[in-house]
Chain A
């Protein structure tokens, strides 16, 4: 079979690219080895984890109401019902995607694909289901093959008690204790879920802080909260070995931890993800791949091969669904000859823990690293009426701005609902907003979105909700 455009991968980057291409009049075939559209994000990433975090949030909030004199008692968890409800969310969304594909006449092909040449994909059988043809010739291909969880050599036990994020999202049971290897966002989000359901969660992180790379002032309130939710957080610590004891896993720690050997009901290894570029026979094309396995692309997401473009996780960090979607649209528009470039000033990132952490644009640590002049404008949530009313004062909103032009470069927020609040900051950064643009934009009261306006008022000497002594 042949097509004008082949899209390899049905995740949020791939299906967005396929759908837009069809809308622009291209003939599109989308190849994915899954039976269902949605990729990691929908099938075993963003969406199922958020479904479970929704549950965790409900449980946490019910507990939190004890402060207000309302007691619900211990939650009764029906795991099968929870799994079914989560499955329903996924079914609804992936079913919707299937309909959208059909309406646009995007042909879906289930197969594992490898490149035979710069213009031909070889289609392989998946799960005994053979594709309609063994080859797909294309004029252009958008490679959106995504990423897979990284494994650590030595920590891969052929044992269902040692899980990656995919397995953990299946929620096979609620273990009495869970060891999370990796203090990144995946480990912390899933750790939060298991802790809310009753597991004693221990997190072990190799570096000296949770969420490496994120500004410390944002991580601090989360760390403090997690200390009360989790059994232990071990920093500067590695897992030297895991041993399958049958009914539990024995972990040996290398770091300032006592005791060095501890037992856990299950282990979640969440040490990051790596791009899915090694099993595609890219050597049969002119596509170039860097040392980390990322496909090298230009500002229009074109690879070194004139027939192939690449988007999403396989095309570079950050590995985020919304970045992939935008890249997918850029790639398609580039194919259509539109003058597009993927040159965002800010890509928002959200850690869906409780409290949430969100940031966009330049971070403080990056600014320091680049030796760039910057100032911050901070509003602590303790001064927010809404945060007080909700009993969630452990938060802050911070702008990072250029001291000379007073234009905003970045934003970081920690606190309940930070993920929703960051959107305004992304727009402000993209527009090159001045602090005054934000200060003079009227924010609704009483909401936490006010914190973005008030933070901007602080350096302008306009913030009446907090007192800053004159310098």
Chain B
């Protein structure tokens, strides 16, 4: 049916304006709330949104015309009932606000801005157009809400729904936190008042799915290599990283809970782990390396020998052993190009070192470890750990790993089943070395044993290949002198 779109109220003391620009053409399809013309009032130039979706049948004004509030501007052939096209400026899901939205005031903002201007000229400010119900539907779609609301405007929708939602600021805030659409909540209080408890109830019955934090940013599948983005210093333009971890008290059906926004780094870790675990058929081999001699060698190096603040741990030896073993077992230093059914053998050996930081796990990659000496590796590790904890990483430092070593030794525990850092094909986890009774040449001897857990991608790496690789690592660690001869 054809609908007439009339010039809506523009703000206090403004009853007409001049058409500066017509933004649509006859025959053009428009979506609800698309801007259709730019109007210059004596206060400002504003874009006028049309609440109806459909095809522009006729444009009844021309550039330069002066139009009055209530005057028909366009006729829209709309297939939606007029009621349904209530001019609520709803954020459109899936359409991120372009940056230009920040320079052009959104049409809905026109009224408050203009009335503000009127007040400015005379010295008294009328209160902001009040009684705007929140637009709770904006929160129903978490990812979209975050984006859509980043459009910049200094006011509120002037033609927002007329209904007043009987919920106070506390209930409205909780609804935002729990992603509850207040228009769907039935108030249990007197005369339909929506209480905080009603919002909690609504969130609980809506189930876990809708209870996600409304401001969470959906993990981006477009990230080239998940972990590589971890610690990225540049936040996306419209998104502000929380400066501190927020914690909001609340409750679910079983008792008190606290909700915290997932940090970007945690989101990235989650996405990366799901990708790896759901793509790669993991197999884990467990073994032990006898590091008794290695420990003796390590201890023979006087403190400070490698430089101030550089502690010689077992880690540089392990990294060197892994690097040398990778040279001989290129399949563990490869990755799989599924699309082209190709195996990419990396001609470089960059070992990612998993570092536990207060913000979460990061895995900076150490370059060309096979060509570094043990002291060089030790020094590089000291720098790397410091930079990781201070979060002073360039994205580049987190990219380009070919194999990962994760050391749980400082914390404790023996074996684990580590998840591979996709698109790498293997990861070695070190447990805490402990003295064990070992049978050597018919006699039981106490030996210092380091537990090793090697997870590998069974698509590329067979059990035998992995076993041979792990044996070689163990051999190096058991005869550390060999590491020095390379």
A207-B122, A211-B124, A298-B149 known; A341+B242 contact, CB < 8 A: no
Interface string of B145-169 (1 = CB under 8 A from A): 0000111111110110011111111
Is A184 engaged at the interface, CB distance under 8 Å to the other chain? yes
Q: Which residues from B are CB-within-8-Å of A273?
A: 120
A150-B120, A335-B240 known; A349+B126 contact, CB < 8 A: yes
Of A205, A288, A340, A349, the contact of B173 (CB 8 Å cutoff): A340
Is B177 engaged at the interface, CB distance under 8 Å to the other chain? yes
Is B280 engaged at the interface, CB distance under 8 Å to the other chain? no
Contact B120 A339 (CB under 8 A): no
Using a CB-CB cutoff of 8 Å, which residues 388-443 of chain A contact chain B? Answer: 402, 405, 407, 409-410, 429-434, 436-437
Q: Which residues from A are CB-within-8-Å of B119?
A: 212-213, 272, 317-318
Main secondary structure of the interface of B (DSSP, over half): loop
Closest to A187 in B: B123
Interface string of A355-385 (1 = CB under 8 A from B): 0000111110110011111000000000000
Contact B176 A370 (CB under 8 A): no
B17 to chain A, nearest CB (A): 14
Using a CB-CB cutoff of 8 Å, which residues 176-201 of chain A contact chain B? Answer: 182-187
Stretch from A8-16, A100-108, A302-310 forming part of the interface with B: A302-310
Contact B215 A213 (CB under 8 A): no
Stretch from A46-54, A59-67, A289-297, A459-467 forming part of the interface with B: A289-297
Of B103, B126, B172, B236, the contact of A213 (CB 8 Å cutoff): B126
Of A306, A348, A369, the contact of B238 (CB 8 Å cutoff): A306
Is B243 engaged at the interface, CB distance under 8 Å to the other chain? yes
A184-B123, A297-B154, A405-B164 known; A346+B131 contact, CB < 8 A: yes
Contact B191 A336 (CB under 8 A): no
Q: Which residues from B are CB-within-8-Å of A140?
A: 240, 243
A270-B123, A337-B215 known; A429+B132 contact, CB < 8 A: no
A373 to B162, CA, bound (A): 9
Interface string of A190-233 (1 = CB under 8 A from B): 00000000000000011100011110000000000000000000
Is B128 engaged at the interface, CB distance under 8 Å to the other chain? yes
A451 to chain B, nearest CB (A): 20
Contact B115 A317 (CB under 8 A): yes
A139 to chain B, nearest CB (A): 7
Closest to A409 in B: B131
Is A274 engaged at the interface, CB distance under 8 Å to the other chain? yes
How many residue pairs link A and B with beta carbons under 8 A? The number is 241
A429 to B125, CA, bound (A): 19
A312 to chain B, nearest CB (A): 12
Contact B126 A335 (CB under 8 A): no
A344 to B169, CA, bound (A): 8
Q: Which residues from A are CB-within-8-Å of B236?
A: 306
Is B116 engaged at the interface, CB distance under 8 Å to the other chain? yes
Contact A363 B126 (CB under 8 A): yes
Residues of B within 8 A of A (CB-CB), count: 75
Is B222 engaged at the interface, CB distance under 8 Å to the other chain? no
Contact B124 A290 (CB under 8 A): no
Is B127 engaged at the interface, CB distance under 8 Å to the other chain? yes
Q: Which residues from B are CB-within-8-Å of A363?
A: 126-127
Is A319 engaged at the interface, CB distance under 8 Å to the other chain? yes
Contact B152 A298 (CB under 8 A): yes
Is A470 engaged at the interface, CB distance under 8 Å to the other chain? no
A302-B240, A360-B130 known; A184+B122 contact, CB < 8 A: yes
Q: Which residues from B are CB-within-8-Å of A347?
A: 127-128, 130
Is B327 engaged at the interface, CB distance under 8 Å to the other chain? no
A226 to chain B, nearest CB (A): 14
Is B35 engaged at the interface, CB distance under 8 Å to the other chain? no
Is A120 engaged at the interface, CB distance under 8 Å to the other chain? no
Q: Which residues from A are CB-within-8-Å of B112?
A: 316-317
Q: Which residues from A are CB-within-8-Å of B12?
A: 213, 365-366, 369
Closest to A316 in B: B154
Contact B245 A337 (CB under 8 A): yes
Is B193 engaged at the interface, CB distance under 8 Å to the other chain? yes
A213-B115, A290-B44 known; A299+B149 contact, CB < 8 A: yes
A438 to B422, CA, bound (A): 62
Using a CB-CB cutoff of 8 Å, which residues 225-256 of chain A contact chain B? Answer: none
Of B99, B156, B243, the contact of A24 (CB 8 Å cutoff): B243
A351 to B154, CA, bound (A): 24
Q: Which residues from A are CB-within-8-Å of B177?
A: 339
Contact A294 B131 (CB under 8 A): no
Contact A344 B191 (CB under 8 A): no
A362 to B133, CA, bound (A): 12
A338-B246, A366-B12 known; A318+B126 contact, CB < 8 A: yes
Of A26, A351, A371, A433, the contact of B124 (CB 8 Å cutoff): A351
Closest to B177 in A: A339
A334 to B123, CA, bound (A): 31
A414 to chain B, nearest CB (A): 14
Contact A346 B162 (CB under 8 A): no
Is A7 engaged at the interface, CB distance under 8 Å to the other chain? no
B193 to chain A, nearest CB (A): 7
A298 to B261, CA, bound (A): 20
Q: Which residues from B are CB-within-8-Å of A365?
A: 12, 126
Contact A360 B154 (CB under 8 A): no
B100 to chain A, nearest CB (A): 10
Is B11 engaged at the interface, CB distance under 8 Å to the other chain? yes
Using a CB-CB cutoff of 8 Å, which residues 194-236 of chain B contact chain A? Answer: 213-215, 235-236
Is A320 engaged at the interface, CB distance under 8 Å to the other chain? yes
Is A284 engaged at the interface, CB distance under 8 Å to the other chain? no
Of A271, A294, A405, A434, the contact of B122 (CB 8 Å cutoff): A271
Is B105 engaged at the interface, CB distance under 8 Å to the other chain? yes
Is B258 engaged at the interface, CB distance under 8 Å to the other chain? no
A140-B243, A317-B119, A430-B168 known; A296+B130 contact, CB < 8 A: no
Of B121, B154, B190, the contact of A290 (CB 8 Å cutoff): B154
A345 to B130, CA, bound (A): 5
Of B123, B130, B132, B169, the contact of A183 (CB 8 Å cutoff): B123
Is B237 engaged at the interface, CB distance under 8 Å to the other chain? yes
B241 to chain A, nearest CB (A): 8
Contact B122 A272 (CB under 8 A): yes
Contact B130 A294 (CB under 8 A): no
A302-B240, A341-B134, A410-B131 known; A432+B123 contact, CB < 8 A: no
A360 to B127, CA, bound (A): 7
Is A343 engaged at the interface, CB distance under 8 Å to the other chain? yes
A306-B237, A334-B240, A343-B134 known; A431+B123 contact, CB < 8 A: no
Is B347 engaged at the interface, CB distance under 8 Å to the other chain? no
Is B129 engaged at the interface, CB distance under 8 Å to the other chain? yes
A341 to B43, CA, bound (A): 27
Of B120, B125, B167, the contact of A432 (CB 8 Å cutoff): B167
Is B102 engaged at the interface, CB distance under 8 Å to the other chain? yes
Is B452 engaged at the interface, CB distance under 8 Å to the other chain? no
Closest to B174 in A: A339
Of A26, A187, A402, the contact of B244 (CB 8 Å cutoff): A26
Is B248 engaged at the interface, CB distance under 8 Å to the other chain? yes
Closest to B166 in A: A432
B230 to chain A, nearest CB (A): 18
Closest to A365 in B: B12
B259 to chain A, nearest CB (A): 9
Contact A318 B168 (CB under 8 A): no
Of A296, A315, A337, A366, the contact of B105 (CB 8 Å cutoff): A296
A7 to chain B, nearest CB (A): 13
Contact A335 B150 (CB under 8 A): no
Contact B162 A372 (CB under 8 A): yes
Of A4, A296, A335, the contact of B102 (CB 8 Å cutoff): A296
10 closest A-B pairs by beta carbon, nearest first, are A184-B123, A337-B242, A317-B116, A304-B102, A318-B125, A432-B166, A361-B130, A184-B124, A316-B154, A213-B126
- Complex A-B: 5 CB contacts under 8 Å: A213-B12, A271-B122, A319-B125, A349-B126, A370-B129
Given contacts A184-B124, A407-B166, 14 further A-B pairs with CB under 8 A are A139-B243, A270-B123, A290-B105, A291-B43, A294-B116, A296-B102, A316-B112, A318-B127, A337-B215, A343-B134, A343-B172, A359-B127, A366-B115, A410-B130
